[in-house]
């Protein structure tokens, strides 16, 4: 990719204000307000049915909001003069016709926004699809389909990328490729907004998180703050005398549970305190690992009951714009 502006500007932000979408009596998106900023990968997280895909369709003007607004670079999507050059999007792997070749699919899209045809070759090369460009889409694997979707998203060299579950169906190599691509696009100053239900993947890719549940905002914060604010630190301890250790820890008021990996998962005293306690009582310690809950655990806890969290949603006041 070339020519990305070195300094991100507000022109490339995605802004949702009180965005609401109802289908009949079902509310898919409920007064959602957030800002997606350039220069970083923003993860959009939520369980299936949380309203992620609906929100993305609202951003792209495919669905009309019941109330509220959403703009890209200050404009509703429908008013962008050349949408593909402003916003690249991947909604699902089925964005192409089964009977059409990858090349023709991209050539058609290029023509629609009067993008030079050479861009088709460039994005095919970038996504590693040059060899199969003449093959019909119906013969594509899920992974190749995702690559074609990403090729289409990059066609207009857009400053904003909106990708719904881009790693869906990809093998580990493909996942790593997307992760690196997203990070490099963000590093170029682009706005990258991607949804996923794979929280472990998000933890590795996203710098910033927008979490929704039942159409409502649960969190809008940096990845690190999200985990730190929402997880209590705990310590993994292993000892050849586990029952004795547990007794000592519980006497100190610690919450001790069996960890799935074996050993004790201790909430309360930190590693230092546990180590000292064991030494004072002559106990051998074979493992002592301070740990934070993974995003997966935090997220599971958070989305268990979104209603409980929405009153004190974890918006971080310290969060600053880079």
* Chain positions contacting other proteins, by CB under 8 A: 2-3, 5, 57, 60-64, 77-78, 80-86, 89, 91-92, 94-101, 104-105, 107-109, 111-116, 119, 152, 156-159
CA distances from 51 to 98, 154, 248, 304 (A): 28, 25, 47, 16
Nearest CA-CA partner of 43 in 156, 215, 200, 148: 200
Containing 40, the helix (H) or strand (E) segment is: strand 40-45
Which of 184/200 has CB closer to other proteins?
184
Bridge partners (DSSP) listed for residue 27: 22
Which of 88/213 has CB closer to other proteins?
88
Which of 73/263 has CB closer to other proteins?
73
Which of 76/247 has CB closer to other proteins?
76
CA distance 19 to 31: 5
Contact 168, 146 (CB under 8 A): yes
Q: Return the structure tokens found at 308.
A: 């409980």
CA distance 35 to 204: 21
Shortest CB 185 distance to other proteins, Å: 14
Shortest CB 203 distance to other proteins, Å: 29
Which of 14/107 has CB closer to other proteins?
107
Main-chain phi, psi angles of 257, to 5 degrees: -130, 155
Which of 136/310 has CB closer to other proteins?
136
CB atoms within 10 A of CB 224: 13
Task: Specify the DSSP class assigned to residue 87.
Answer: E
Nearest CA-CA partner of 65 in 75, 74, 80, 55: 55
Q: Return the structure tokens found at 161.
A: 């990328």
Shortest CB 73 distance to other proteins, Å: 11
Shortest CB 111 distance to other proteins, Å: 4
Shortest CB 119 distance to other proteins, Å: 8
Shortest CB 180 distance to other proteins, Å: 22
Helix and strand element counts for the chain (H, E):
12, 14
Which of 92/255 has CB closer to other proteins?
92
Shortest CB 5 distance to other proteins, Å: 8
Q: Give me the residue label for tokens 């058609």.
A: 108
């Amino acid at each position: 990719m070339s020519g990305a502006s070195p300094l991100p500007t507000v022109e490339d932000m995605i802004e949702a204000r009180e965005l609401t979408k109802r289908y009949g009596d079902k509310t898919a998106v409920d007064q959602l307000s957030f800002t997606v900023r350039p220069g970083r990968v923003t993860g959009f997280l939520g369980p299936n049915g949380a309203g992620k895909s609906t929100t993305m369709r609202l951003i792209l003007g495919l669905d009309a909001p019941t109330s509220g607004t959403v703009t890209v670079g200050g404009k509703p999507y429908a008013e962008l003069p050349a949408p593909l050059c402003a916003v690249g999007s991947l909604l699902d792997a089925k964005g192409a016709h089964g009977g059409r070749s990858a090349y023709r699919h991209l050539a058609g899209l290029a023509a629609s926004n009067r993008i030079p045809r050479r861009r088709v070759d460039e994005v095919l090369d970038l996504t590693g699809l040059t060899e199969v460009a003449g093959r019909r889409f119906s013969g594509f694997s899920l992974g190749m389909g995702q690559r074609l979707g990403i090729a289409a998203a990059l066609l207009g060299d857009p400053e904003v990328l909106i990708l719904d579950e881009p790693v869906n169906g990809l093998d580990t190599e493909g996942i790593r490729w997307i992760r690196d691509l997203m990070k490099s696009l963000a590093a170029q100053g682009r706005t990258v907004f991607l949804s996923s239900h794979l929280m472990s993947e998000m933890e590795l890719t996203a710098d910033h998180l927008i979490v929704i549940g039942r159409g409502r905002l649960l969190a809008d914060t940096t990845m690190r703050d999200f985990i730190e604010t929402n997880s209590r630190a705990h310590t993994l301890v292993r000892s050849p005398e586990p029952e004795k250790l547990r007794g000592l820890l519980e006497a100190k008021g610690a919450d001790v549970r069996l960890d799935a990996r074996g050993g004790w998962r201790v909430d309360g005293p930190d590693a230092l305190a546990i180590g000292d306690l064991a030494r004072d009582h002559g106990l051998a310690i074979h493992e002592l690992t301070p740990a934070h809950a993974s995003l997966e655990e935090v997220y599971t806890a958070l989305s268990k009951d979104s209603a409980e969290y929405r009153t004190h949603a974890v918006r971080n006041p310290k969060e600053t714009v880079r």
